[in-house]
Chain A
Amino acid sequence: GENVEQHPSTLSVQEGDSAVIKCTYSDSASNYFPWYKQELGKRPQLIIDIRSNVGEKKDQRIAVTLNKTAKHFSLHITETQPEDSAVYFCAASPGSGNTGKLIFGQGTTLQVKP
């Protein structure tokens, strides 16, 4: 089945710097790759997603890139702010069965220092 690996597990940056979180997946048929943000004590919320027919997607300070050949995708946050501090999860939707289920990575705790 699908396996998603996420790195790093923790990331600390200065306010204004960029942050990059990387994920790899194992199922070459996976076709949907969302990123979720979870603030302390809160529920996960979608911040951006990308489908397998697109190589890059941007939304203001957030961007996601996808390399299908290498089977990895990355989240890029520019001009980080203290409110970006949270746990970020990547996920992949296995291609077989088209069930909509997601397999999540282990999470990255991002700390943005003022």
Chain B
Amino acid sequence: NAGVTQTPKFQVLKTGQSMTLQCAQDMNHNSMYWYRQDPGMGLRLIYYSASEGTTDKGEVPNGYNVSRLNKREFSLRLESAAPSQTSVYFCASSKIAGSTDTQYFGPGTRLTVL
């Protein structure tokens, strides 16, 4: 099992450009999450999908959109990137739908917006 995978690993964008971060899990998990990690601010939840077909806003959703493409895949889209979105982005998944459970993280995507 690869666990949780993310692509790309690194990305540099110019202000105003758009891009999609991809996340996939092969553990048959029901819930998936997107976080951003900034120095001194921990992990902040952007969006989550408690189960296939549902998505909800987290703590910092502004400037982002998500798609739960199927049970395995959960993508994060930046429509018009801004320097404030420079961060490390982590995707995570957990087995039990809509309930507390261990979250397994992907390796992260380091995004720089110039």
Contact = CB atoms under 8 A, between A and B. Distances in A.
B48 interface: yes
Interface of A: 1, 6, 9, 31-32, 34, 42-46, 49, 51, 89, 91, 93, 98-107
Interface in B71-114: 90, 94, 96-103, 105-108
A44 B31 CA distance: 17
Contacts of A45: 105
B2 interface: no
Interface residues of B, number: 28
Given A100-B31, A104-B42, A32 B90 contact: no
Contacts of B31: 100
A51 B100 contact: yes
B105 A31 contact: no
A31 B105 CA distance: 21
B90 A44 contact: yes
A12 B107 CA distance: 27
A99 B48 contact: yes
Contact of B58 (A34, A89, A101, A107): A101
A43 B50 CA distance: 21
B100 A43 contact: no
